[in-house]
Amino acid sequence: MSFIPEKIEEFKAVFEANWTHIKSFPGCSHVELLQDLNNPSVFFTYSLWEDEASVENYRQSELFKRVWAATKILFNDKPQAWSVSPINFP
């Protein structure tokens, strides 16, 4: 996610205020916020979910809708998201 530079602190406050709620959402085992070292306007959220159904339940929740509404108005570019799975080596 890329933010308007003047809105970075506002975004961080939104994330901090909701972090414990997100990480305690059913099916979520981990959530963290990462900031790009070379471009401080770019952030990533990294979360681990039990399964796709848990992620979808979160995306349909009032919590997500509230956080997303407060976050999307701060963007300066279209956000991107990926769902990935680990590749395990022996």
CATH number at residue 33: 3.30.70.100
Which residues constitute the domain of residue 58?
5-72
**Number of domains within the chain:** 1
Residue 78 lies in a domain: no
Percent of the chain whose predicted confidence (pLDDT) is above 90: 94
Confidence bin at 85 (pLDDT 50/70/90): confident
The per-residue pLDDT for range 11-32, each reduced to its tens digit, is: 999 999 999 999 999 999 999 9
Residue 86 lies in a domain: no
Residue 64 lies in a domain: yes
H or E element, residue 18: helix 8-23
Question: pTM of the prediction?
Answer: 0.89
Residue 30 lies in a domain: yes
